[in-house]
Structure 1
Amino acid sequence: MLRLATKRQTKSYTYHRINSYHPTSLSSSKMFNSYVILTLLVFINLINYMDRFTIAGVLDDIQKYFDINDAIGGLLQTSFIVSYMIFSPLFGFLGDRYSRKYIIIFGVTFWSTMTLASSFVQPHHTYLFFLFRALVGIGEASYATVAPTLIADLFIGNKRSTMLAVFYFAIPVGSGLGYIVGILMSEAFGHWTWALRFTPLFGILSTFGFLFVIEPVRGAVEQANFNRPEPDTNNENSFGSIIQSLTKDIKYLKSIPTYLLTTFGFTCVCFSVGAISWWAPTFMQTANVDTSKEKIGLIFGVIACLGGLSGVLIGYSSSRYFRSIYPYADSWVCAIGVALSIPCILLSIALARQSPTISWFAIFLGVTFLSTNWSVVVDILLYVIIPQRRSTAQSLQILTSHILGDASSPFIIGAISDAFNSNDDKFRSLSFALYLTPIILVFGVLFFGLSAKFILKDEQRCKQMISKGDGGSGMESSTNSESNYGIDLANNIFSKNSFTDANDNIMKFPNQQTDIGTRKNQVDIGFINNLYQYNNDN
């Protein structure tokens, strides 16, 4: 049953988001290639977070092995995150200009090798262990900055949102499995170093799959008709041109309020998640001394898996449902999720010793609500930033959210804990330190809430730039004029020559021939996340 396309209106803004590809836009081989790439990216993301949190699962053993206190133990994660965030802008810059496929292959191979090497460090070479963890961050930075942009170039609209949710399911699952695998490998082989020898094998294997896939063209799925010229490496002034290009990127990103505010909001989330992920198992161990550390680690691992999965699913579902009614809903999905996590975290800290069961359940709820924004934040970035600047935007968001978030929070919490630990009461000192996390989350709610004011305007501007082929400075003002074919891209009004079926798939009148990519007698139909091109037989 076919029905005429309708327009959903919010005040003066006409809004409609496409649900899927046009049925004729991709061949079966290209679709297969897209799903193979997605599968590989999800798998790599899984082992990426397993590797990142395996250390946390055996942190107590590592502290005893290298004879380090809480503050230095927190710096172990900080050393990884610092290199991760410093090198993210570099790989973001490269990811917008060169092959993302080979950047991922390099990155995964590099961090797998460094992780394996760190497992052979002797106890009197503490600094070497820290160095290897920092090098792991470099490899992971190369992957994390370009992976979401690959998904953006493979899928579109609600399909893109779904695939991003699938991609980010790997974060909670990988984090939880990291704790569990770390503990189980340590128990099975009698030493914590074996926990670091599990993920490198699968990391290396995953790179072979990437050798056989075809990388999508940037912006092709959105029919963006502009390309960014690559720097001329033979030009003696090439370094200057690179700096000039990067400066234009930053200037463009600074002009997007939604990007800035969601980045600050996500930074607050990263601060709290980093602190909780790193210190919660140790905190619950000090609160329940009769419970073995292995059991504590397994409980937290299961909570991280289930809570994270539930949170990503709730965030994705809420975004998809409410966005069809309120176009600015994504900002409020993030804000409300963070707001609901605050009382849960407070309760988990306050009742850790008196009622461990309630405390564990509160941690589960806190992790769930904090995870609601993982895929939504990236989805927002992808539809307010033009394709040729998405890797740079992603990398700078990583830089900001980590340098002020989970790069610093483990050390800050550890340092506060050491400062209050005058009577050798680690539970009391960690309690005081962890109360900082809900305070930071209050600011996260404010940032996400403010972004709702700008999100529609920024999304509309991005679509206009794509439709105009504005890939240069990115600072030109958008026009509200209609095209020659009577289609208002600014307000996303449908052409009289199009209609949708019951699933909101874009259809054509029977007397029209579809010709993707043809420049002759085209009708350009502009929507929120796609530009499809049709021949006009008339």
Structure 2
Amino acid sequence: MNAQSAASPAASAVPASNAGYALLILTLINLVNYLDRYIVAVALPDIQKEFGINDTQSGLLGTMFIVVFMLASPLGGFLGDRYPRRLLVVGGVVLWSLATGASGLATSFGALLLARAVIGIGEAGYGAVAPSIISDLYPRTQRTRMLAFFYIAIPVGAAAGYGLGGWLTQAYSWHVAFFAGGVPGLILGAMAFFMPEPQRGAMDGPDAQAKLPFMVGLKGLARNSAFWAVTAGYTLMTFSIGGLGFWMPTYLVRERGLAQDSSGFIFGAITAVAGLLGTVAGGWLGDKLDRKREGGGLWMSGIGLMLAAPCMYLAVSLKAVGPTFAAIALAQFLIFLNSGPINAAIVNCVPPAFRAFAMGLNVLCIHLLGDAISPTLIGTIADASSLHTAIAVNALPVLLGGFALLLGARLFREAVPLARQG
């Protein structure tokens, strides 16, 4: 199951004329997506006090959202390969924004869990199709950089969630934080209605624009060893950073004695700066290394994760606060190097007519075995021992993920024809 080579003379070498608007809107929506996800993390201590829940129950707030999101994502991808993706984006962002506002109305733990589940449905309609839209707006030689720009929204949105959520929770209440988090998505949902709907495979030549029967595509995907190796590495990384992102603000409050608003602001600022720099560097280096050898960006990603693992361990093992934050920053920089290269590898090693479903299946895998279980598992370990111990052992999946991505880079060269831009 090979992607079309960028060397094909029929493949476009320049972006679509209206690509910039779509990329900007999709990136802003992705920012709001992650803002919403991390408001709950920084508001968690107050939510625990109000509802009287322990760490294991608190982890369910992260797990419930992820479980619904991952289960709905393959369906979102299936629909995205067959229907206008622009409409799926609009419907998805409006639904999750309304559910975010509804989270602030919750008067019980069960009601809050239900709202988080509905948010997962809305995000599934968007998350699987956005990368496939971008891949049809930009040529293959630019995709890693463009996808890196799209994924810049992860650290910036997470930082905004930590900062905004921490400030509003401290100044008003966690209910107000959720009300504020739902407004931007409604505005962006209306703007997304005017995005272009590019032809599938428009940047990969006429052969790539052919329709692909679902069962034929599914059988090819099952044999695509590069896709599965990359997905395995992505899953291990997601397990670790999902749990870390959910629990780190609480760790800084509980075990380092920081104020709740300070922990959210500082951790959010580190995430924004390190994540932004890492994502931009990864997109630029990924495109450059991919031009030298197929899968070059994945080699960089694998090495980056292997270097990030000891930094994550040091972050909770160092006693002084300053070195702790420095270790957190370096770990996040090395992890966010991977955002562009990993997702570019996924869309490049599958046919354009099957990209949305492949992304949806990837989302299912990385969350089913990743951050769907890590917040609750870390909470359970914390209840049995300490939050320090739970976060320290969380560095191991990152190390294993690095090995998996190095394997994926080797397999990728066999799965995808060597691409050379003339």
Q: TM-score, normalised by structure 1?
A: 0.74
Provide the C-alpha distance between the structure 2 equivalents of 1:68 and 1:251, rounded to a whole number of angstroms: 45
Distance 1:105 1:453, change over 3 A: same
Distance 1:322 1:160, change over 3 A: closer
Residues 200, 353 of structure 2: 8 Å contact kept: yes
1:373 to partner: Cα distance: 0.8
> Higher strand fraction: Structure 1 or Structure 2?
1
**Aligned alpha-carbon RMSD (Å):** 2.0
Alignment of 1:456 onto 2:388? no
Q: Give the Å deviation of 1:292.
A: 1.3
| Counterpart check, 1:146 vs 2:129 | yes
Look up the match of 2:82: 97
CA deviation after TM superposition for structure 1 residue 341, in Å: 0.5
Q: How does 1:115-514 map to 2 (within 5 A)?
A: 115-122=100-107, 125-188=108-171, 190-225=172-207, 226-228=209-211, 246-289=214-257, 291-351=258-318, 354-420=319-385, 429-460=386-417
> Counterpart of 1:98 in 2: which secondary structure?
coil
Alignment of 1:57-136 (within 5 A): 57-122=42-107, 125-136=108-119
Q: CA deviation at 1:246?
A: 4.3
The corresponding residue for 1:234 is none
1-side partners of 2:267 and 2:13: how far apart? Answer: 43
Contact 1:17–1:157 (Cα < 8 Å) also in 2 = no
**Would you say the 8 A contact 2:170–2:260 is kept in 1?**
no
Aligned residue type for 2:58: G
Measured at CA, do residues 342 and 216 of structure 1 come closer, stay the same or move farther in structure 2, by a change above 3 Å? same
Change (3 A) 1:106 1:492: closer
Shift of residue 368, structure 1, vs aligned partner: 1.1
User: Which residue of structure 2 lines up, in the alignment, with residue 525 of structure 1?
Assistant: none
Distance in structure 2 (CA, Å) of the matches to 1:346 and 1:111: 34
Amino acid across the alignment from 2:42: G
Q: Which has the higher contact order (CA 8 A, sep 6+)?
A: 2
Task: Tell me the CA shift for residue 15 of structure 1.
Answer: 9.5
- Aligned letter for 2:117? A
Deviation at 1:212, TM superposition (A): 2.2
Amino acid at match of 1:388: A
1:87, distance to aligned residue in structure 2 (A): 0.2
Letter in 2 for 1:45: N
The percentage of aligned residue pairs carrying the same residue is: 34
Which moved further from structure 2: 219-228 or 362-371?
219-228
> How many pairs does the alignment contain?
416
TM-score in terms of structure 2 length? 0.94
Decide which structure has the larger Cα Rg and report it. 1
Is the Cα contact below 8 Å between 1:313 and 1:372 reproduced in 2?
yes
- The CA deviation at 1:406 is 0.7
In 2 relative to 1, CA 17–223 (structure 1 residues): closer, same or farther, beyond 3 Å?
Answer: closer
Unmatched 5+ residue regions in structure 1? 1-13, 230-244, 421-428, 461-490, 494-503, 507-538
The structural deviation recorded for 1:22 is 4.3
More divergent stretch after superposition (51-60 vs 436-445): 436-445
**Do the aligned partners of residues 492 and 356 (structure 1) sit closer, same or farther apart at CA in structure 2, a change above 3 Å counting?**
closer
Tell me which amino acid in the other structure corresponds to 1:259: F
Distance in structure 2 (CA, Å) of the matches to 1:65 and 1:260: 43
Deviates more, 1:152-161 or 1:314-323: 314-323
Q: Deviations over 1:118-159 (max 9, x none)?
A: 21111xx21111011011011001100000000001001232
| Partner-residue secondary structure (3-state), 1:58 | helix
Return the alpha-carbon distance in structure 1 between the equivalents of residues 116 and 296 of structure 2: 39
Distance 1:210 1:58 in 2: 29
How far did 1:286 drift?
A: 2.1
Letter in 1 for 2:393: L
Measure the CA separation in 2 of the matches of 1:304 and 1:332.
23
Report the Cα distance in structure 1 between the residues aligned to 2:70 and 2:330, rounded to whole angstroms: 28
Q: Distance in 1 between matches of 2:381 and 2:119?
A: 27
Task: Measure the CA separation in 1 of the matches of 2:298 and 2:343.
Answer: 12
Contact 1:17 1:324 in 2 (8 A): no
